[in-house]
Structure 1
Amino acid sequence: MAKVLFLGPVGTYSHQAALQQFPNEELIPVTSIPACFEKLISDIDMDYGVVPLENSTNGQVVFTYDLFRDFMQADLSPSVEVVGEQYVDIAHCLISPVPLSEEQLRKVDVIYSHPQVWGQVKDYLSDLETKYGKTAKIDCSSTAGAVERCIAEYATDRKITLAIGSRASASLNKATIVEGGINDVNGNTTRFLILKRRDESSEIGSQALPPKGDEMKVNFVTFVINQDDPGSLIDVLNVLREYKLNMCSISSRPFHNQVQSERKWQYCFFIEFYGNYGTDYELLAKRFDENCAKWIHWGKFYRNALYYQIP
């Protein structure tokens, strides 16, 4: 039985993603996204990790992006690879430790949740504050952790606070759903990556692209350009055009080059592209070498069928 790490506790959306990908394996919660990477790398008993990457409403999960970036920033060889993806419908609920009257709800002044959630329920919270008064929004490491925190505070001193999380986390903690379906946008979805420890024999850098015949998978690559002259980013992207490769995603995060310390501000770019029939990946790798200061191919995987579902 495989051992699979996910951002805990039980009842998070990461837990749901892990269940979708690994319904019959041992699922092990960890306290943070960095802990998921660290334990997967350091503990040979662990087989996979499940981490959130982006949300259809609120964009990047920066904690995850920055962990990929930090490998390049520190000039470290990648110790994990991306082998799959999952998509989870995000249906947020306003959750209380106990049933509340209108008057009790009016007195609540604290709401807990994961920081990624606030942008997904902004309109709802604005309406809630108009009706009941201003509340403090306090970050937790996960939505399930937010539910556990408000439960614990009520158990300790009967203080009533609220959390925003999933129906599953409310059910697991025997909490009360004050209101369900509070997302500002219908069809709100989070995309998760499936990670595994990179084998010692795995090739990295310029030799890491898939061989011929492994076409039509999604390739996940990070890179830093050689210089900030006009057209330097286009030179890299033109490599994909040259080989008729369809880029399906591009984003960036700030990058501090610790080797070239005189350059205090750069960007690490993240791209995903589909493989193509007949592509000479050896030549493609050489072209990346020519146009990037450094680059890493993090893995390849088939597009999950949930990607194509219409909300």
Structure 2
Amino acid sequence: MRRRKTTEDRVLDTIISVILLVVIFVTVYPFYYILLITFNAGTDTASGGMYLWPRQFTFENYLYFLKDAKWISAFGVSVLRTVVGTFLGVLFTGLVAYGLAKRDLILRKTYFTIIIIAMNFSGGIIAFYIVLRSLGLINTFGVYVIPGMLNLFFLLIAISFFNDIPEEMRESARIDGASELRIFIKIILPVSMPLLATMALFIGSGQWNAWLDSAYFVQDEGLRTLTYRMMQVINQSMVPTGDAQAAAMSRSSVTPFSVQATAMVVSIVPILAVYPFLQKYFVSGMMLGSVKG
């Protein structure tokens, strides 16, 4: 039978509910406020006192953002690096993990030793820059995607995951004449969707949010990412546009802060759009590192 709540239970439930509501408000309201700014005239926002809804509703911030060639170019570069970088990261991490999961692999312990050392020690930014320059990746699109093709953290998780797949499945495919690549594509990948979805979500988020590589290793303005442009605005407290665009801004209700808020919202939308499609795999994928070992 259902136990009747005592007075102490009701008091405790009330306190917990209030605390949770405060936490939800503190967590959600900053995002709502940024969204609010994007739909309000920038000059009106600068006067303050807006908290719940726009005082001067407008789409001008978004129109200005879409008309600015630098923002659009940066958005395109970020989308391209996220798609390509995520695909290559998941593919090559999965392939390497599948090979290292074989217990009869020659020099397997040596490879694991190298991986552990690489995870815990780094040569630093100067050594990394020298390596990228020797590979001809400086000031190219490849500097965004090639260094991240192998994710060491997910490599270890994927190895553990592949080790738990019954060997009988692979043996039966080999008897039928399937190559290792065919076994990987036709058998291993279909049963690894939680792992692949989790890898794709985290690698994709890392690619989308990255800006240091654009700041350190790229000089071509056409290769700048959206997050780099946003950091420019935050650090300079002004939109990095030319004189003509600055004059156009002065004739409208758009302000640097309102454009910055618009860029933030635009940068969040792709992640929010992709997450629902990966959510059914995400929960089970998050448990891989804790229950597999």
TM-score range, shorter chain: under 0.3
Instruction: Give the strand-richer structure, 1 or 2.
Output: 1
| Bigger-Rg structure (1/2) | 2
TM-score by length of 2: 0.22
Instruction: Give the helix-richer structure, 1 or 2.
Output: 2
